[in-house]
Structure formats: structure tokens, C-alpha cells
Amino acid sequence: MDFDWSYTIGLLWSRDFWDATLLVVELSVATWVLAVVLGFFVALADRSSLMVVRRAAALYVWFFRSLPLLVLLIFVYNLPQAFPATSALLSVPFIAGLLAMVLSETAYIAEIHRGALVAVGKGQYEAGRVLGLSRAGIQRLVVIPQALRIALPALGNEFVSIVKLTSLVSVISLAEILLVGQRYYTQNFKVMETMVAVAVYYVLIVTVFDTALKAFERRLDFSRRLAELTTEDAEPSGEVARTIGDDARAMTAEPAIRLEGGGKSYGIHSVFENLHLSVKPGEVVSIIGPSGSGKTTLIRSLNGLETLEHGVVYLEGKPFLAGSREKLSKSVRYDGVDALRIGMVFQNFNLFPHRTALENVMMGPLYHKRGSFAELRNDARTLLNQVGMLVHENKYPHQLSGGQQQRVAIARALAMHPSILLFDEPTSALDPETVGEVLRIMAALARSGRTMVIVTHEMKFAMEVSDRVIFMEQGKVVFDGSPELLAEQRKQDGRLAEFVRH
């Protein structure tokens, strides 16, 4: 075979090729950065609550993904023929090339972002919401950091595609690597030799950037971060500060929280109708009952995570939330400040996985600027100490057991100093051996005079800790009274006895 190696190797020092390489890098990086940013907005638009915005986003993605880049390039470059006003910009091949590539890549990258946004679970949004974060705040602090990490491998892959796609801009006579190669071999007919050099340049660019992106990916990956070494697990200190004594609200006659005439249905399926619930300040109320009886729906409608159709929720006597079909609903808004008075602990903890235990606890107070960083840090550490998690303050959620995560989640809810704490089956997702550590902390909170509403299956705990137990069945309250009364009644009521036995 007659292959001119010395010519090929000579091309690796060619000024023309290095200029073209620089141009490809500039064009690729600019396309990628712009498309990553714009694509994110298209992905957000796709999740908008406004139908027209969603439609526009879908139309954009559909259209620009269907159009071959080559067609788009020629079209954009020749646009000045129809619209001479665009000629100042679009007759510059770099700008025309960049525009066409960004239009097309934004559509692809929007789909990558969309997948990543979907992968950030609903629980993360809800956790942000119960800390009183605004929609923008949730995106910035909770969703985007997680979505970016999820999307990064795919985004890196897209960068590689973009580098290769730049070869198409040769059609609009932008002197990128392929075009330089073509110019060489049309003069000397050394097609193979020239194309080998062209290939080397592309491979070089992709390799350099791929390595850099992988390194970046590793840096972002919190699951690889090692926690500082900690020696031993601390038992909860159990010293939960008393709240009732210094809480003047406890003295008022108004219930801490009250639901009047609550009604909720999913489609034709009614969960409950005309349901009442009233919780006095300092009272600990457990809600028990078989699965599907509406306990979760009830507790989530108290803080607006679920929207009722009927009924009004009063917070310390003031209307706070109103069902969508209530006249009041126009005048009662989900008020961010009032909402902060209700803390919530979820079944699946919903800790922010990209933040350490300490950062999880500090997120709410920092966001609401409840004090200086040092003060809030101190406060958060005190709370972590109360739940026995101070030794793990710098660990990420995935480095903690379920029980430990739930203890951090309790500290996170306490950090906003809420007047009412809601728990939705806080121990149901735990291994049996870690249930106790969470229940102990909840019992200490209950003893300290906190107002608590707890949905639970832990009968023994409910009987020991609660002032009142509510038994729900098929959306109806079938028992509401003291644990002593419940113990009494179950002797007569077979159904109650069957449930309360375990």
C-alpha cells in the first residue's frame, strides 16, 4: 500500500488544522453551553402548569428534532436572501452555524433535562414545600442540583455528538477541520492520508473534553463523597427542649389546628366527606386505621400538600386553607408564613440527598434568613444533638441508616420551630431494629408539650404517647378518644379490637 505517513504526520503540525481545531472547540463549547441552558428552560416549560406553555415546548422539541441539522444549517445561512436585515449576523458563517446548532441541540438537550427532572422525585418537592421554599427556591436549591447530576453523563455524551456534528458546518464554508482537510486533498489527492489526520484531530478533541467531563461528574457525585470518619453512634440525648411553657399560644382556647367539613375525592372515588378534626395546643393525636382509609390524605390536607374540595383548615383560629369548592378559597391563600408553623415528617424521610445532615437541617432556616449563619449552624447542631445525630452531621443521607435519616428529618422539621408537627407513618419505611430510636425521639417530643398529629401503625406507641387516638375507617372517624377509652371500647367493638391488638 502506498500511504504517505510523513505527510499525515506533517499535518499534525499544520497551522490550518490547529486553527480549525480551535474553531471546532469554540463552536462546540458555545453550542453545548447555550443548549444546556436553553434546553433547561424548554424542559421547565414542558412542566409548566399553563397548557399553552407546555404545548409550545412540545412543539419546539418536536419540530427541531425532526429537522436534519444539514437542512437547518443551509436554511439559516441563506435566511438573509429572504430577510436582508438578518444579513449582518447570519452571513457570518460562525454565527449562522452556531444558531442552527443551538436550535437543534436545545431540542435534544431539553429531553435530557426533562428526564432528569422527572427523576427527582415528588417527595423532594414536597420536602422543599413544607420548609416554605418558593417554587423558584425549590428549583434552585433542591431540584436543579440533583437534576444536573443525573443529566451530566447524558449531557457529556451530547457534547461528543456536537463535536462531530460541527463537521456539517463545512457546508456553509466555515473552515472547520473537515473543510480544511477537503481543501488539502482536492489539491494533492492524498484523501486517505488527509482524512487520517482529520480523524486524529476529532478524536483528540473528544478525548480531552470527555476526560474533563468525567472528572467534573465525579466531583458532582455526592454518592462518592466520603464522610468524615466518625467513631460511634450516639444515643439520642433525649433532652428535647420543653416548648409548652414558653409558648403563650398554648394558653389560648383556640385549637392549634382545626379542619371543618373536610371533603376530598379522586375522580369519582370519595376519600372522605364532611370530616372534622380539631387538635388543641400541646395535644398529641394519633390517627390509626387500615390502609386506604384516608389517613395520609387527611394529614396532608392540613398543610396544603393535598387540596381539599370542601372544608376549611383553621390555624390557631384563623382560616388558613380552604377547599377548592369553598367560597372562602378565593380569599384564603396558602400563606408561606403561616405554613411555616406546621412542620412535617414523611414516611420516606425525603432528605435532600445532595446535602449533608447538617445542611439538610439548616436549609429551611437559612433560606428564610432566620439568623446569621453561625447562629443557624449552632441551632441546627443543637437539634442534631437532641436526635443523637450530631456525630453524623457531615454525612450524606445515603451514608445513614433509615432510622438515622428519619432522625435527621425530624431535626430538619424542628429547625423551623413549627408550632405543630405532622408525621405520616414516620416508621413504616424503617427496618424493625431502627423503629425504636425514632419512636423514642417522638415520645420525648410528645412529652415536651409539642402539638403533634401522628399517622401510625405503632399501636403500643400510640397508646402510650397520645392524648387522643383517632381510628379511621373508609374515610370516617369511627373512634375519637383517649387511649384509656380506646382500651375500654375495644372490649366491646370486635372490629376495633382486631385492629388495635397488634
What binding mask, one character per residue, do residues 248-267 give for ligand ADP by CB under 6 A, x or -?
------------------x-
291 part of the interface to ligand ADP, by CB under 6 A: yes
Shortest Cβ distance from residue 374 to Mg ion (Å)? 39
What is the three-state SS of 25-93?
Answer: HHHHHHHHHHHHHHHHHHHHHHCCCCHHHHHHHHHHHHHHHHCCHHHHHHHHHHHHHHCHHHHHHHCCH
Shortest Cβ distance from residue 495 to Mg ion (Å)? 19
Three cell numbers written together for 193: 492520508
Q: CB burial class (10 A; 0-12, 13-18, 19+) of residue 24?
A: buried
Residues numbered 357 to 386 that lie near ligand ADP (CB under 6 A) are none
Q: Report the alpha-carbon distance of residue 311 to residue 325 in Å, rounded.
A: 8
297 part of the interface to ligand ADP, by CB under 6 A: yes
Shortest Cβ distance from residue 291 to ligand ADP (Å)? 4
294 part of the interface to ligand ADP, by CB under 6 A: yes
Please say which residue, 257 or 271, places its beta carbon nearer to ligand ADP. Answer: 271
Shortest Cβ distance from residue 293 to Mg ion (Å)? 8
Please say which residue, 296 or 329, places its beta carbon nearer to Mg ion. Answer: 296
Q: CB burial class (10 A; 0-12, 13-18, 19+) of residue 441?
A: buried
Task: Choose the contact partner of 266 out of ligand ADP, Mg ion, none; CB within 5 to 8 A by kind.
Answer: ligand ADP
Task: Choose the contact partner of 292 out of ligand ADP, Mg ion, none; CB within 5 to 8 A by kind.
Answer: ligand ADP
What binding mask, one character per residue, do residues 1-40 give for ligand ADP by CB under 6 A, x or -?
----------------------------------------
348 part of the interface to Mg ion, by CB under 5 A: no
Q: How many residues bind ligand ADP (CB under 6 A)?
A: 10
84 part of the interface to ligand ADP, by CB under 6 A: no
> Amino acid identity of 319?
P
Task: Choose the contact partner of 466 out of ligand ADP, Mg ion, none; CB within 5 to 8 A by kind.
Answer: none
What binding mask, one character per residue, do residues 214-253 give for ligand ADP by CB under 6 A, x or -?
----------------------------------------
Stretch binding Mg ion (CB under 5 A), from 191-199, 212-220, 289-297, 330-338: 289-297
Give rounded-to-5 percent helix, strand, coil for the chain: 60, 15, 30
297 part of the interface to Mg ion, by CB under 5 A: no
Three cell numbers written together for 419: 408550632
Stretch binding ligand ADP (CB under 6 A), from 23-31, 295-303, 428-436, 481-489: 295-303
Count other C-beta atoms under 10 Å from residue 3's C-beta.
10
Residues contacting 262, CB < 8 A, separation 6+: 272, 274, 275, 276, 277, 298, 301, 308, 310, 311, 313, 323
Q: Single out the residue of 296, 329, 427, 466 in contact with Mg ion (rule: CB under 5 A).
A: 296
Please say which residue, 243 or 293, places its beta carbon nearer to ligand ADP. Answer: 293
Please say which residue, 170 or 301, places its beta carbon nearer to ligand ADP. Answer: 301
Task: Choose the contact partner of 403 out of ligand ADP, Mg ion, none; CB within 5 to 8 A by kind.
Answer: none
Backbone phi, psi, residue 355, to 5°: -125, 150
295 part of the interface to ligand ADP, by CB under 6 A: yes
Residue count (the chain): 502
Residues contacting 62, CB < 8 A, separation 6+: none
Among 240, 239, 134, CA closest to 452: 240
Edge to edge, the sheet with strand 420-424 lists 342-345, 420-424, 451-455, 284-288, 468-473, 476-481
Rounded to 10 degrees, what is the CA torsion of 70, 75, 76, 81? 150
296 part of the interface to ligand ADP, by CB under 6 A: yes
399 part of the interface to ligand ADP, by CB under 6 A: no
Q: Single out the residue of 10, 245, 292, 481 in contact with ligand ADP (rule: CB under 6 A).
A: 292
Among 144, 113, 93, CA closest to 46: 113
Please say which residue, 296 or 350, places its beta carbon nearer to Mg ion. Answer: 296
Please say which residue, 180 or 454, places its beta carbon nearer to Mg ion. Answer: 454
β-bridge partners, 376: none
Q: Single out the residue of 21, 146, 243, 293 in contact with ligand ADP (rule: CB under 6 A).
A: 293
Q: How many residues bind Mg ion (CB under 5 A)?
A: 1
Q: Report the alpha-carbon distance of residue 316 to residue 419 in Å, rounded.
A: 10
User: CA geometry: angle at 133 spanning 131 and 137, to 5°?
Assistant: 145
What binding mask, one character per residue, do residues 266-285 give for ligand ADP by CB under 6 A, x or -?
x----x--------------
Q: Report the alpha-carbon distance of residue 30 to residue 102 in Å, rounded.
A: 9
Residues contributing to the site for ligand ADP (CB under 6 A) = 266, 271, 289, 291-297
